């Protein structure tokens, strides 16, 4: 008999997450869907298994894999999760694949290790380590190699269009 576990953790702010000059910023809710789940309450861990996949969703980002192990705080809020087996991260048109992805709620990041590949439209980047900052929608690939396809009329990363004398004086 197949068991579908859906865990919706929409709890208040996580302890380590604060805005630079204000009160703690609430973490977005995290939803996990799996065929089977095992809770280890004394360890504050949950083991999710997918046949075929486990899905962890935070806002518009989706992390897919075969096995997910979460560390939870005393209220059950996922503070940390490790996703293994056919790992795929999707957010909009961006798709990342790797061997192991680690979600850190306090930092709002997903760290992809083990031959990470990032597809962004027609651009494809391979590297050693991919860090995806969910809060800033920013991806950083170390030791990056690949093909970046630039659309006509786009500036290259790190460059600005030069303004004419009339434009700059407005």
Tell me the three state secondary structure of residue 104. strand
Closest CA to 55 of 43, 40, 37, 73: 37
Helix (H) or strand (E) holding 167: helix 165-168
Cβ atoms of 157 and 140 closer than 8 Å: no
Residue 100: how many other CB atoms lie within 10 Å: 15
Q: Tell me, what's the pLDDT at 23?
A: 57
Tokens 């910023």 found at = 25
Class of domain 5-168: mainly beta
Residue 19, classified by CB atoms within 10 Å of its CB into exposed (0-12), middle (13-18) or buried (19+), is exposed
pLDDT over 70 percentage in the chain: 74
pLDDT of residue 43 exceeding 80, the answer is yes
Q: Tell me, what's the pLDDT at 74?
A: 86
More confident residue, 96 or 29: 96
Q: Which residues pair with 84 in a beta bridge?
A: 67, 100
Closest CA to 36 of 1, 63, 70: 1
Q: Which residues contact 155 (CB under 8 A, 6 or more apart)?
A: 161
pLDDT of residue 5 exceeding 50, the answer is no
Q: Tell me, what's the pLDDT at 149?
A: 77
Q: Is 152 left (phi over 0), alpha (psi -120 to 50) or beta?
A: beta
Kindly report, residue by residue over 76-106, the tens digit of the pLDDT.
Answer: 899 999 999 999 999 999 999 999 999 999 9
DSSP 116: -
DSSP 109: E
Tokens 């009160």 found at = 23
Tell me the three state secondary structure of residue 42. helix
Mean pLDDT, rounded, for 123-151? 91
Kindly report, residue by residue over 10-22, the tens digit of the pLDDT.
Answer: 222 233 333 344 5
Residue ranges per structural domain of the chain: 5-168
pTM of the model: 0.74
């Amino acid at each position: 008999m197949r068991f579908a576990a859906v865990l919706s953790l929409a709890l208040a702010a996580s302890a380590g997450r604060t805005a630079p000059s204000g009160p703690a910023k609430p973490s977005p809710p995290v939803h996990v869907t799996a065929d089977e789940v095992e809770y280890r309450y004394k360890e504050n861990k949950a083991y999710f298994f997918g046949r075929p996949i486990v899905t962890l969703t935070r806002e518009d980002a989706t992390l897919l894999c075969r096995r997910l192990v979460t560390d939870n705080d005393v209220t059950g809020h996922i503070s940390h999760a490790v996703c293994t087996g056919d790992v795929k991260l999707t957010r909009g048109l961006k798709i990342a694949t790797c061997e192991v992805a680690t979600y850190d709620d306090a930092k709002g990041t997903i760290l992809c290790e083990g031959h990470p590949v990032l597809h962004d439209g027609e651009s494809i980047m391979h590297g050693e380590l991919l860090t995806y900052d969910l809060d800033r929608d920013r991806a950083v690939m170390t030791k990056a190699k690949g093909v970046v396809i630039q659309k006509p009329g786009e500036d290259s990363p790190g460059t600005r269009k030069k303004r004419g004398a009339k434009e700059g004086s407005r």
